Amino acid sequence: MILLAKLPQLAACKWSIVRAIKNRWLVPFLNLGHLLDHLAMLVFPTAVVAIGREWN
């Protein structure tokens, strides 16, 4: 019964992202990458819409 209770924890330990998050210095870089991803998704379509309006 105790082994079944620990089964999800054992499975989570095998995920590579869980092991990567243990390196605390990596978190700011992940956040920065996520920010740049969202910025690119917002800036480029906005520029296309603005240019489309300008050029008809």
Residue range 8-34, pLDDT digits in tens: 665 656 666 666 567 778 889 999 999
Q: How many C-alpha atoms does 21 have within 13 Å on its Cβ side? A: 8
Q: Residue 47: is it exposed, middle or buried by C-beta count within 10 angstroms (0-12/13-18/19+)?
A: exposed
**Token representation of residue 40:** 């690119």
The reply to whether the predicted model has a pTM over 0.75 is no
For residue 13, count CB atoms less than 10 angstroms from its CB and return exposed for 0-12, middle for 13-18, buried for 19 or more: exposed
